[in-house]
């Protein structure tokens, strides 16, 4: 089964079970401030998992693009990827464990669908602890559909509990599904699902979301139980196609073959193949990050730093294979061709991707030789590489910490990362990023203070467009209880007069105490009425629109106040340019 067919039949299976298809969300999570990137399908749906009604109803299904950096050091093995696609279906207070497990089993094992041998299907469930009981309900349901108890493994919270990557939010026990492979033998008699030897490959995870983790670490029951599931497209395709690695599927074969051609090699030995896989993975991930409508360019901060790190690691690996300049665009064109018909933004932003890859390739190669010479000189003079040395290589030569650490490890040297971080935080540009803590994008939580700040960002954007022109649009936001941060497209910093006018417009709307009204309508109808929609929404045919009188109308799924008067007053506290055409402002809510 090819990947395109896998996507299609998954959506069809759940459509037949009354699920509505929603679009893939941006790779930059709007409603989860604890992660730089969308790591799972749940991130774009956070408001709805917490109880807000979704305009498409209570049963949803989609294919979500994801970036996950937690396994970056494992990339190049048989299964781990930085960019991947996740098939997911959700119940928002609708069906529960019986339906979720039964449908998972049917889709995986029925000859009409994927047709895996149920004798090769192993599952794990939550074993229970002081916070929640053992999931005996899931165990009984698995047994009822035909999975024998010997193929069911109760495991601890570290293995079978899922929620957002931060410390707070909706969460719950999960049941993971694994296919036993014949190609890789068990590593030991104790080998079980969840072991990292590769004998058991995880393909699906059903999350029974019935808890909310609070700031103090305690758990409370959600008012409404939800089902959140995820199936990795590339891993499942590899199992269906009978190949031993995700890199042998059509998601990577064209890139691997092109790398062989560029390296002028008919075959690759083990270490060369590992390098080729890293190149293919990192280039694809960097392309998909930059192809997002947020248009993230490589930089030394936040999302741009990840793009830069991926690109530069790919260049280093390519150099080791004897591949010269120009390969990035060569491989990027394959990625664009692979995904442009699936994700419209890839087609829209392809030139932005190519231009930035060219610039980054030139910029890094101009400094790489100097960086490596300085690395060798430091090592020869001192016999070690310190955290301060790593910081110098980063700031002066653009060598990411991870690369310096890898080069040092090859020499048997371990770098003091804490020392690097101390200097990093003292650096002016870096300190501003570091002080933003865990809130890397979107909302910190759904408290009353955050809700007020979120509404204020809508008013700010509307005011900026009225003062600076319709070319202004959101490039990112970050909201805490103390302040809001808003990035927007503009070629220069605002004048004091422009700042004063923006503040005046926002405060006038606050003083008028206008209602903040929510309505549901089709995407085309919303755009036709003038609603702003700079980031593609995930809703499909119907969208959620928030309006504030005639002042602001915007597609949004986040929390808002009922009337503008509760904001009291608004003031811009800082502004600075963070890119060629991006300005960042910080603002607070204060007494008028």
Phi, psi of 416 (to 5 degrees): -75, 95
Residue pLDDT tens, the chain, 592 long: 999 999 999 999 999 999 999 989 888 876 555 578 888 877 788 888 888 889 899 999 999 999 988 777 788 787 789 999 999 999 999 999 999 999 999 999 999 999 999 999 999 999 999 889 999 999 999 999 999 999 999 999 889 998 765 567 788 999 999 999 888 888 888 899 988 888 898 999 999 999 988 877 788 898 899 999 999 999 999 999 989 889 999 999 999 999 999 999 999 998 999 999 999 999 999 999 999 988 888 887 778 888 988 998 899 899 889 998 889 999 999 999 999 999 999 999 999 999 999 999 988 887 777 888 888 888 888 888 888 888 888 777 777 777 788 888 888 888 888 888 777 766 544 334 333 333 344 454 567 888 888 899 999 999 999 999 988 988 878 888 888 989 888 989 999 999 999 999 999 999 999 999 888 777 778 888 888 875 544 445 567 788 999 999 988 877 788 899 999 999 999 998 876 678 999 999 987 5
Determine the longest span between alpha carbons in the chain, in angstroms.
73
- Fold match, 3-244 / 447-589: no
Q: How far is it, in rounded angstroms, from Cα 405 to Cα 110?
A: 48
Helix axis angle, 253-263 to 327-339, nearest 10°: 160
Please spell the DSSP secondary structure of 23-54, one letter per residue. Answer: PPPPSS-SS-TT-SS--STTGGGHHHHTTPPP
- pLDDT of amino acid 149: 93
Helix axis angle, 401-410 to 387-397, nearest 10°: 130
Return the beta strands (E) in 366-432 as ranges. Answer: none
- pLDDT of amino acid 538: 45
Q: Is 299 exposed, middle or buried (0-12, 13-18, 19+ CB in 10 A)?
A: middle
- pLDDT of amino acid 396: 73
- Class for the domain spanning 447-589: alpha beta
- pLDDT of amino acid 539: 43
Phi, psi of 120 (to 5 degrees): -100, 0
CATH number of 3-244: 3.30.930.10
To the question of pTM greater than 0.85 for the whole model, the response is no
Tokens of 82: 């930085």
Domain boundaries, the chain: 3-244, 252-434, 447-589
- The total of other beta-carbon atoms located within 10 Å of residue 269's CB is 8
Q: How far is it, in rounded angstroms, from Cα 418 to Cα 424?
A: 10
């Amino acid at each position: 089964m090819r990947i395109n067919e896998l996507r299609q039949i998954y959506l069809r299976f759940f459509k037949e079970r009354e699920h509505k298809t929603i679009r893939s969300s941006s790779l930059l999570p709007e409603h989860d401030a604890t992660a730089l990137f969308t790591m799972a399908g749940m991130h774009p749906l956070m408001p709805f998992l917490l109880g807000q009604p979704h305009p498409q109803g209570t049963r949803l299904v989609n294919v979500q693009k994801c970036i996950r950096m937690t396994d970056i050091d494992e990339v190049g093995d048989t299964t781990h990827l930085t960019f991947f696609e996740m098939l997911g279906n959700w119940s928002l207070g609708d069906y529960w464990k019986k339906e979720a497990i039964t449908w998972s089993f049917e889709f995986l094992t029925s000859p009409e669908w994927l047709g895996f041998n149920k004798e090769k299907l192993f599952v794990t469930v939550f074993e229970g602890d002081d916070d929640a009981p053992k999931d005996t309900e899931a165990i009984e349901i698995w047994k009822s559909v035909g999975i024998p108890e010997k193929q069911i493994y109760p495991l601890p919270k570290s293995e079978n509990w899922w929620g957002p990557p931060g410390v707070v939010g909706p969460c719950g026990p999960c049941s993971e599904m694994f296919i036993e492979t014949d190609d890789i033998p068990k590593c030991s008699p104790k080998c079980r699902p969840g072991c990292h030897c590769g004998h058991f490959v995880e393909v699906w995870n059903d999350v029974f979301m019935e808890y909310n983790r609070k700031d103090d670490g305690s758990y409370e029951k959600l008012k409404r139980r939800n089902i959140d599931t995820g199936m990795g497209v590339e891993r499942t395709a590899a199992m269906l196609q009978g190949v031993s690695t995700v890199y042998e599927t059509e998601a990577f074969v064209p890139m691997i073959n092109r790398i062989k051609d560029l390296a002028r090699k008919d075959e690759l030995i083990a270490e060369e193949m590992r390098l080729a896989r890293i190149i293919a993975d990192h280039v694809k991930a960097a392309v998909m990050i930059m192809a997002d409508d947020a248009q993230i360019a490589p930089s030394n901060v936040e999302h741009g730093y990840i793009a830069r790190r991926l690109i530069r690691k790919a260049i280093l690996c390519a150099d080791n294979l004897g591949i010269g300049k120009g390969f990035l665009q060569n491989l990027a064109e394959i990625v664009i061709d692979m995904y442009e018909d699936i994700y419209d933004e890839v087609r829209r932003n392809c030139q932005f991707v190519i231009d930035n890859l060219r610039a980054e390739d030139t910029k890094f190669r101009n400094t790489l030789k100097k960086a490596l010479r300085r690395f060798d000189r430091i090592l020869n003079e001192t016999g070690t590489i310190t955290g301060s040395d790593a910081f110098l290589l980063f700031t002066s030569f653009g060598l990411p910490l991870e690369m310096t650490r890898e080069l040092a490890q090859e020499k048997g040297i371990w770098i003091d990362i804490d020392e690097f971080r101390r200097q990093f935080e003292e650096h002016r540009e870096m300190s501003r990023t570091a002080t933003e803590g865990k809130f890397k994008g979107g909302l910190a939580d759904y408290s009353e203070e955050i809700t007020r700040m979120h509404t204020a960002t809508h008013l700010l954007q509307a005011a900026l467009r009225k003062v600076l022109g319709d070319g202004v649009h959101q490039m990112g936001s970050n909201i805490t209880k103390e302040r809001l941060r808003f990035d927007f497209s503009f070629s220069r910093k605002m004048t004091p007069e422009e700042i004063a006018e923006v503040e005046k417009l926002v405060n006038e709307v606050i003083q008028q105490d206008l209602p903040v009204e929510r309505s549901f309508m089709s995407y085309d109808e919303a755009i036709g009425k003038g609603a702003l929609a700079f980031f593609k929404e995930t809703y499909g045919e119907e969208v959620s629109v928030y309006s504030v009188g005639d002042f602001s109308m915007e597609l949004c799924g986040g929390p808002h106040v009922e009337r503008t008067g509760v904001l009291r007053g608004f003031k811009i506290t800082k502004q600075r340019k963070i890119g060629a055409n991006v300005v960042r402002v910080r603002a607070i809510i204060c007494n008028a």
